[in-house]
A and B are shown apart, each in its own frame.
Chain A
Amino acid sequence: MPYGFVIDQTRCIGCHACTVACKSENDVPVGDFRTWVKYTEIGTFPTVRRHFSVLRCNHCTNAPCVTICPVNALDKRSDGIVDLDRDVCIGCKACMQACPYDALYLNEETGGAEKCHYCAHRVDQGLEPACVVVCPEEAIISGDFSDPESKIAKLRSRPDAVVRRPEQGTGPNVHYIGADPVSLNPGTALEPDSYIWSERRFEAPDYPPVMPDGVDLYPDATTVLDVNHKVHWGWKVSAYLVTKGIGAGAILLAPLVGAAAAGTNAGDYAPEIVGIFFLAVTLLLLVVDLKRPLQFLSILLRPNVKSWLVKGSWVLTAFGGAALGALVARAMGNDQLADILRYAGMPLAIGAACYTALLFAQCEGRDLWQNTRWLAPHLLAQTVFLGALALLPFLPANMSLAWLVTIGGVAHAGISLREAYGGHETTNARLAASLMPRIPAWPGSKFMAFKLGLVITTIVSLAAPAVASAGWLNSDLGWVLASVLALSAFVGTFFYEQCYIRAGQLPPLS
């Protein structure tokens, strides 16, 4: 019995009764919306027209928010409703990345995600959703698609019924009749700095004046009223990618370092200490980024095994366990066990580095991040680059490490350039990529994060073997120079991730 909606835009008058009735029924905070109406104007006087589209959760058949939710707070009910358990949600905001429709928001007060849940509390009592009841035009039709005699089934089978962003493969269950394509295709209309009778909550996205290839901007179409959506993942996620890369890289390169400096503290302990330290920082960042950090253990206690947040946490646990085991075994004098664990750590380090590509692949709302083919090797390259640099202060004279910095760094730069300029398959990804070079390094900065990051990491990657072979790292203060190189590279990579993470979230989804 799949429930869904048909929204009849040939009848909708854009009055916002649904918007307000929903807020009233579901106690939605000011600033957030479970359903809203977008106005788009197309054309020139006197043939210009305004088009309305009622936007909300699509109660997808293959709901990506349900897949990614690490704690099963989101649930596809047997009647098709995608419901959300506010008590279980840990506020990781992954669902907001997974949803290609901007359907979820974070209730700042409770720290939990919320969304249209088809008024499940009413449906379970035999009542229609509040928006359906209030609509003056009966333009929102609820009901059961499986009953061929129902009004909703008949409307859905009309040839002009369409869904939003079908290419996402989510199987949306909100069908539109008579909607203008521009109003359902985000990013195709001009975005003004303020709306027709409302201000914008967030600044208009800084689109390039010339749209990138393949993005079909309708020059005479403007979004004139809309609801703005927050960018949910910020510097903590960018930093997490860097610290995880450092930690994973240290463990990945541990056998190499061990072989080069066996018997020294640097060879025996440094990789694990660096690895464990940065893993700890990584976990801290992840927990702090949760809106309900105290509920972080739910990831392990009530896991959704389909979510790469969960699988990733297992990988990180195993990775940390191996590193800690190696360290303890070494300290206890069991070198053989320590070496076995050290070698076992290598694939786990690759897993720790690269699982994020699979997590990001689950972010159906962020096409830029779904470029797994390049993201996985990119993460690996960064891991080599960052790991080698992290270990360099301990083994300043090691040319292999220095060359690994170069190899990793150059690969990172190459793939970064590819991500920004190498083309993408979808409009959303192309738009995001075009925005990557336009993200300031910090708020208000003239420097762009992409360029600054790339310059820093490239200088470091080329400088490492040069200064190493020049013997500068062998001096008493060589570790200082190596540390400077390493820290610079960390910051440079962080800049790259800032623009990658932010740009990925900027293209409008609704």
Chain B
Amino acid sequence: MTTSDPMRVTPLENFPPQEEWDHWEEFDAKVWPRKEKKAYSLIPTICFNCEAACGLVAYVDKETDEIRKIEGNPFHPGSRGRNCAKGPATINQVNDPERILYPMKRSGPRGTGQFERTTWDEVLDTLAGRIRKAIQEKRLTEVMYHVGRPGADGYMDRVLQSWGVDGHNSHTNVCSAAARLGYTLWSGHDRPSPDYEHAKFILLISAHLETGHYFNPHAQRIIDAKSAGAKIATVDIRLSNTASMSDYWLAPRPGTEALMLLGFVHVILQNDLADDNFIKTWVNWHAWLDARGHERDFDGFMEELKVEYAWATPEHVAEVTGLTAEQIRTVGREIGEAGSKFAAHVWRNSASGNKGGWQVARCLQFVVTLVGAVNAEGGTSGNGYNKFVAKPFDVPSPQAVWSELLYPREWPLSHHELSFVLPHLLLDGRGKIDTYFTRVYNPVWTNPDGCVWMEVLQDENLIGCHAALTPTWNETARHADYVLPMGVATERHDLTSQETHAAKWIAFRQPVMREVMRRRGEEVEWTWQANPGEVWEEDEFWIALSWRIDPDGELGIRKHFESPYRPGERVTIDEYYRWIFENSVPGLPEAASKIGLEPLEYMRRHGAFLVEDNVYVTHEEPLPADKLKDAVFDNDRAEVRKDGEVIGVFADGKSMVGFPTLSKKLEIHAPVMAEWGWPEFTEPGYIKSHIDEAELDRDAGEMVLVSTFRLPTLIHTRSANSKWLSELTNTNPVWINTVDARRLGIASGDLLKVESRIGYYVNKAWVTEGIRPGVIACSHHMGRWRLEGDQHSANSWQCHGMTLDRQGTVYKYRRQVDVGPFDSDDKDSAKVWWTEGGVHQNFIFPVQPDPVSGMHCWHQKVTVAKAGPDDRYGDIQVDTAKSMDVFHEWQRETRPPTGSLRRPLHFKRVLRPTDEAYRLEE
């Protein structure tokens, strides 16, 4: 089969013909040019390295049952058979010579790195016993599941709600939460889904040609658009690969990005490039005027809007942002001229870096809305329109409790859980945890304030039991009671969907060896029996655990895990997905039967299914007739109302569903902000960041550290087990502009001391033109460590050995053993030529929760100096006493609710509890 490229006239094909996937013979590259063939089963699955969920196909050697290699899956609508470096590198993770193959139990004090092998029976019994007891004693907020990379849609919601606990925690507040708030305020969708492929102008406040959700699928479509003549502008403080491929690289002063966007708004309005027709119907401009007490028509609104943003002239914006007025004018005008074909995205970047970063997303969506690009072809949709989450066979009722550790009341508008201040909340006595699961999550390393995490994870009074579910060893697993090995991409089931383009698809991850055995006719009860060692998959782990929590059904849990096909029996993982594919995915049963397959078999063989293509202008869908009964149609306000609530949009005699906001319009004016204590933020605006120029004492050597940028070849903290990725990427020097380097007398390779409020690290300098002067940047991902004396070696491709000298609250780390060749079953481990592995920088960051969105504001104000004579590469020092001070300072800026609710009822919440649980207890 070939790709869709019409210009391709070559005798060569991309992939083996699908009818031969069951038995495919090909020449063995290892002995070429000897023409020896080997036979493989080609099993589709999906990548588990970033969240994009690109398609993979594993080549399983029929003779040895080993995976020979991993390619792309041409049937996957998002990735279209292609991958980034991390896809084929999955084989390294499968064959990692140091991977954990058996469940491990702590054998020394917690956090001392001593473990012994245990059995899954013991693990399941212990954890089930604890959880059962907590449920029986109504301690329903003391069981917590904390996830880094979900890799699936909604599976855990069902499990946790069947237990009745409020215990879902995520990583989102160190990631995308700020932008989610900005998007939600406009449209009710918390993420964008740009239709890059058909865009004329693309604005990226992101690095989508190298990272981010969803790198590979998005990068394909961005470049297709570029080749078709689209222009690209990228906003980034440092020169990313994405910026390099763009027509415009805009590197404003960090924290001023929202202002830059308002500059575009100004240019669009002043040049009359806004899409008046779109705005008139789809924006809640009435509310905007109402708030001002102005009774005017639409033209009056547009006039006033011009005046409202008249101050954001290109000249003024240029002065504050450090960009040129010309840049603001040119890019603003090009966006306006692209009109509805304007695709834009903010992913992490300034939204995640700054206090008030959520306004960056809001201002960006302002621009998208002004030019009428919302849900348009070549424009920017809401994620909900391009993602398909299939319902499982059983959905338990929502829990009736609310955990203050997840959604503390002082952040009522937070998007997602206040995950990264969990230890701070625990230390402040806001609750405790009986049983804590970390799952593909490494907060000790990834989150700010890792030393506080370690302190809390070591305190058995705060966390009774900690089980780390992880495909690879990590710094957090080191602090667990149980380390439970879970499968990598080729060793597990998951069902996922992502908003990669203007379509909806699902993709099916499956354990490839289990599938090979099934096709051979071998019975496999549990996936671990087909996996290496005793590596489980989570889906089955949760079924097995839930069954043991409630073996006789007394707690009402068991019934949620009984087979929809065999009443009273425990559901198997095959039955779970079979039911979904037979009942919840429109079009799939028909597509399967067309080629004579059951839906489950179809997914096993194709790995993905396109549910709907070319999804545009969904907001114009007609309101269902049953809803129109007794409705009021308001021509003036373009609304359909019923029982005092707006249920749709009315225009040109049509009743349409509109957007999932209270007004069903795109909300330029969001009353919810005033209602929840932030009247100054009811409209898109620019909030001065905590690292605003005025906050910096330049004379004292203060600079802004941008610490979040990712690289195309690594995956947060889960790629240190890949040799091929590690050899390409093995150091994270501090980027510093030549101007600043001259001032400090620094050359590339010299040591810099970077000091935050709570500590410092010592790293090498990378003197470059590729960063704005006055700002330094250091890539996240690297500096993986183990402590000398730890029993297990792991991640040796990137991991260095450190010693810890702890004096009270002061932690001093020093690098003792560099990365280097090591003994293992993999002959390549003797060939490791790199030595550094980078410096772990997140340790020195205090938590900085945004008072509105609750997002950690990643940018750090730091002092930068040449390292002293006693400083060594990789030194880290942290004082956790100072950590709590900083947390409390930021906490004081919040505005807790004054009403009776913890959170607006219409705001999304992960694992949404009953409405009753939203009420604040007296």
Contacts and interface: CB of A to CB of B under 8 A. Distances in A.
Q: Do A and B interact?
A: yes
Interface of A: 10-11, 13-17, 19-21, 23-27, 29-31, 41, 43-46, 48-52, 83-87, 108-109, 117, 119-128, 130, 132-139, 142-144, 147, 149-152, 154, 192-199, 201, 220, 224
B83 to A, nearest CB: 5
A23 B724 contact: yes
Contacts of B8: 143, 151
A201 B833 contact: yes
Contacts of B769: 41, 43-45, 48, 220
Contact of B10 (A31, A142, A197): A142
Contact of A136 (B13, B71, B216): B216
A-B pairs with lowest CB-CB distance, top 3: A121-B27, A50-B244, A143-B10
A130 to B, nearest CB: 8
Given A13-B241, A30-B828, A142-B10, A137 B223 contact: yes
Interface in B367-386: none
Given A125-B27, A126-B11, A144-B11, A15 B725 contact: no
B729 A198 contact: yes
Contact of A194 (B11, B89, B91, B733): B733
A126 B13 contact: yes
A260 to B, nearest CB: 57
A133 B10 contact: no
Contacts of A152: 10
Contact of B7 (A13, A125, A151): A151
Nearest to B89: A20
A199 B89 CA distance: 20
Contact of A121 (B29, B728, B737, B833): B29
Interface string B89-115: 101000000000000000000000000
Contacts of B782: 197
Interface of B: 3, 5, 7-16, 26-35, 69-72, 79, 81-89, 91, 209-210, 216, 219-220, 223, 226-227, 239, 241-242, 244-245, 249, 251, 711-713, 723-725, 727-733, 737-738, 748-749, 764, 766, 768-773, 779, 782, 827-828, 831-836
A20 B32 contact: no
A26 B83 CA distance: 17
Contact of A109 (B209, B729, B827, B833): B827
B254 to A, nearest CB: 14
Contacts of B70: 24
Contacts, number: 234
12 contacts: A11-B227, A20-B86, A21-B71, A46-B249, A120-B32, A128-B10, A136-B223, A151-B5, A151-B10, A194-B749, A196-B768, A199-B836
A26 B29 contact: yes
A147 B8 CA distance: 11
Contact of B244 (A51, A86, A194): A51
B772 A198 contact: no
Given A16-B713, A48-B770, A154-B7, A127 B12 contact: yes
A87 B30 CA distance: 11
Given A48-B770, A137-B223, A199-B834, 18 more contacts: A10-B226, A13-B223, A14-B244, A16-B84, A17-B88, A20-B728, A23-B724, A24-B88, A27-B29, A43-B769, A45-B771, A48-B769, A122-B29, A127-B13, A134-B87, A143-B8, A144-B11, A196-B766
B727 A151 contact: no
Contacts of A24: 69-70, 88-89, 91, 724
A25 B29 contact: yes
Contacts of A44: 738, 769
A45 B713 contact: no
A120 B749 CA distance: 42
Given A126-B11, A134-B71, A151-B5, A197 B779 contact: yes
Contacts of A11: 223, 226-227
A128 B82 contact: no
Contacts of B5: 138, 151
Contacts of B723: 30
A467 B244 CA distance: 69
Contact of B727 (A31, A52, A120): A31
B728 A198 contact: yes
A178 B712 CA distance: 21
Contact of A45 (B33, B737, B764): B737
- Among B11, B209, B216, the one with the most A-chain Cβ atoms within 10 Å of its Cβ is B11
Contacts of A144: 10-11
Given A45-B770, A197-B779, A150 B9 contact: yes
Contact of A17 (B85, B771, B832): B85
A363 B284 CA distance: 73
B712 A16 contact: yes
A14 B779 CA distance: 17
A193 B749 contact: yes
A21 B84 CA distance: 9
Nearest to B324: A46
Contacts of B771: 45
A143 B5 CA distance: 14
A218 B9 CA distance: 40
A48 B727 CA distance: 26
Nearest to B242: A13
B12 A138 contact: no
A83 B35 CA distance: 13
A437 to B, nearest CB: 25
A122 B33 contact: no
- Among A125, A143, A149, A151, the one with the most B-chain Cβ atoms within 10 Å of its Cβ is A125
A120 B27 CA distance: 10
A197 B730 contact: yes
Contact of B85 (A19, A41, A45, A149): A19
B552 to A, nearest CB: 49
A16 B835 contact: no
- Among A16, A49, A143, the one with the most B-chain Cβ atoms within 10 Å of its Cβ is A16
A213 B257 CA distance: 47
- Among B85, B91, B712, B835, the one with the most A-chain Cβ atoms within 10 Å of its Cβ is B85
B729 A197 contact: yes
- Among A83, A120, A122, A138, the one with the most B-chain Cβ atoms within 10 Å of its Cβ is A138
Contacts of B724: 19-20, 23-24, 30
Contacts of B239: 41, 48-50
A198 B12 contact: no
Contacts of A143: 8-10, 12
A190 to B, nearest CB: 10
A136 B82 contact: yes
A477 B783 CA distance: 66
Contacts of B209: 13, 15
Given A128-B10, A134-B83, A136-B83, A194 B731 contact: yes
Nearest to B217: A136
Nearest to B797: A30
Contacts of B9: 143, 147, 149-151
Contacts of B727: 30-31, 198
A83 B241 contact: no
A157 B174 CA distance: 49
B26 A83 contact: no
A194 B764 contact: yes
A85 B34 CA distance: 8
B513 to A, nearest CB: 18
A192 B85 CA distance: 25
- Among B3, B724, B732, B772, the one with the most A-chain Cβ atoms within 10 Å of its Cβ is B724
A198 B737 CA distance: 19
- Among B88, B729, B730, the one with the most A-chain Cβ atoms within 10 Å of its Cβ is B88
Contacts of B91: 24
- Among B3, B223, B834, the one with the most A-chain Cβ atoms within 10 Å of its Cβ is B223
Nearest to A87: B34
B343 to A, nearest CB: 17
Nearest to B711: A197
Nearest to A43: B769
A43 B251 CA distance: 15
Contacts of B836: 199
